[in-house]
């Protein structure tokens, strides 16, 4: 593999993306969920009396380790619709049938890089969507969503650079003195925080990043670039013959931007009506994360097969999947956090995220819901505090 043919999560949860949400919402349409046909005995968790017959989930990218928690819920013999880029099967909780199906839809290129929040309002069949925390704040006045579960404790978003070219650079802030050009998606929000806080100069930002490795490689490491610590670090060292050496990096989280990445969310207006389902379902989501981390290979096998069948241009390997999960554990990207609970939110982090993004969105002419508090965009109401990853 020489490059990623399609941009990774381009313009999802972004300032510029928000300006196009209304137009995007006019595209597409509802897809009728297909039943799995599974009729086995229901186990300890019965969702059939409180949840939709098919729980439809819209992800924000192709199958990958960061999404293993949701694919882990698919039971035996799932049905794959390669054309529609979705899979449906019985929803299992720790190897037991819950009485309903789960349908998982691919995001990113499969939905024209539309923001997941917009897709959720385009298609009312979608119950759960993967929405970044800053995006939830951004669209709170137009397409409001409420986050109910966080599979990632820390966002994998990073800025990376060539340590041979910049041996003096140890963190993102050092790239300012080095004067390095930094490739980003123009519409992303995090870099606006970095420049607004004086960590980087806006003149350093090059918003032309398209998700491929070509510019980084062609510039022989003189250019820094955004990426995911759970993905690009492996790719650039192992899967790019024209580079194939390590890169250095710092997580954007560690530079002071505490975003929640790919938080599982519902439409805010549906929260009350779905509360009985969510009360039982969210603990299942938590346990799915624990089960995937504990025994990832069956789910990895499924995701690798799906990537091949979907054929979106996304290339994924066993090596990438293994590295992704190991890195997420090593960096605490997937962890219990300080309180020993899997998948909950820290309201103080949301308060900080709101504080950082309020002026960014105001400058971009984007109105957010007011008064804006963490409770507007997230809830721990359905989290089971007894479910833990154990680290």
pLDDT score at 34: 73
DSSP run (H or E) holding 163: none
Q: Which residue has the tokens 């929405």?
A: 131
CA atoms within 13 A on the CB side of 53: 8
State the Cα–Cα distance between residues 358 and 365, nearest whole angstrom. 11
- Asked if 93 and 387 touch (Cβ cutoff 8 Å), the reply is no
Read off the CATH number of the domain in which 232 is found. Answer: 3.40.190
User: Is 4 inside any structural domain?
Assistant: no
User: Is 82 inside any structural domain?
Assistant: yes
User: Is 9 inside any structural domain?
Assistant: no
Read off the CATH number of the domain in which 290 is found. Answer: 3.40.190.10
Q: Give the domain-ending residue among 221, 255, 289.
A: 255
Average pLDDT per 10 consecutive residues for the chain, totaling 391 residues: 36 38 38 81 98 98 97 97 98 97 95 94 98 98 98 98 98 97 92 97 93 91 96 95 96 98 98 98 98 98 98 92 98 95 98 97 96 98 98 95
Q: Are residues 140 and 280 in the same domain?
A: yes
DSSP state of 6: S
Q: Are residues 82 and 222 in the same domain?
A: no
| Helix%, strand%, coil% for the chain, nearest 5 | 35, 15, 50
- Which two structure tokens, joined as six digits, stand for 248? 């250095």
pTM confidence score: 0.91
Q: Are residues 311 and 190 in the same domain?
A: no
pLDDT score at 85: 98
Q: Are residues 145 and 283 in the same domain?
A: yes
Q: Are residues 317 and 348 in the same domain?
A: yes
CB neighbourhood size of 391 (10 A): 10
Q: Are residues 211 and 360 in the same domain?
A: no
Q: Are residues 104 and 179 in the same domain?
A: no
Q: Are residues 117 and 248 in the same domain?
A: no
- Which two structure tokens, joined as six digits, stand for 352? 């900080």
């Amino acid at each position: 593999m020489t490059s990623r043919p399609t941009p990774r999560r381009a313009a999802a949860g972004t300032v510029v993306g928000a300006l196009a949400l209304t137009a995007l919402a006019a595209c597409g349409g509802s897809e009728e969920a297909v039943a799995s046909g599974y009729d086995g005995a229901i186990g300890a968790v019965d969702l059939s009396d409180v949840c939709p017959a098919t729980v439809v989930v819209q992800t924000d990218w192709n199958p990958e380790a960061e999404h293993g928690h949701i694919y882990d819920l698919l039971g035996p013999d799932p049905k794959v619709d390669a054309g529609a880029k979705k899979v449906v099967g019985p929803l299992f909780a720790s190897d037991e049938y819950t009485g309903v199906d789960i349908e998982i839809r691919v995001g990113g290129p499969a939905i024209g890089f539309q923001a997941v929040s917009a897709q959720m309002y385009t298609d009312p069949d979608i119950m759960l969507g993967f929405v970044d925390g800053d995006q939830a704040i951004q669209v709170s006045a137009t397409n409001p969503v409420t986050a109910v579960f966080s599979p990632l404790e820390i966002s994998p978003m990073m800025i990376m650079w060539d340590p041979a070219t910049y041996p003096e650079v140890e963190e993102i802030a050092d790239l300012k003195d080095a004067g390095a050009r930094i490739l980003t998606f123009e519409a992303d929000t995090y870099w606006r925080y970095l420049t607004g806080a004086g960590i980087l100069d806006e003149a350093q930002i090059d918003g032309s990043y398209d998700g491929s490795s070509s510019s980084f490689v062609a510039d022989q490491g003189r250019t820094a670039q955004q990426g995911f610590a759970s993905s690009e670090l492996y790719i650039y060292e192992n899967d790019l013959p024209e580079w194939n050496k390590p890169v250095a990096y710092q997580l954007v989280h560690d530079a002071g931007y505490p975003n929640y990445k790919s938080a599982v969310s519902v439409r805010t207006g549906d929260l009350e009506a779905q509360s009985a389902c969510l009360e039982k379902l969210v603990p299942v989501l938590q346990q799915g994360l624990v089960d995937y981390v504990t025994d990832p290979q069956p789910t990895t096998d499924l995701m690798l097969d799906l990537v091949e069948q979907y054929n979106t241009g996304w290339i994924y390997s066993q090596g990438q999947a293994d590295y992704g999960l190991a890195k997420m554990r090593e960096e605490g990207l997937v962890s219990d956090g300080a309180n020993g609970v899997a998948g909950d939110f820290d309201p103080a982090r949301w308060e900080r995220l709101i504080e950082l993004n309020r002026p960014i969105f105001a400058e971009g002419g984007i109105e957010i819901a007011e008064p804006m508090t963490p409770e507007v965009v997230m809830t721990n109401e359905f989290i089971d505090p007894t479910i833990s990853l154990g680290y």
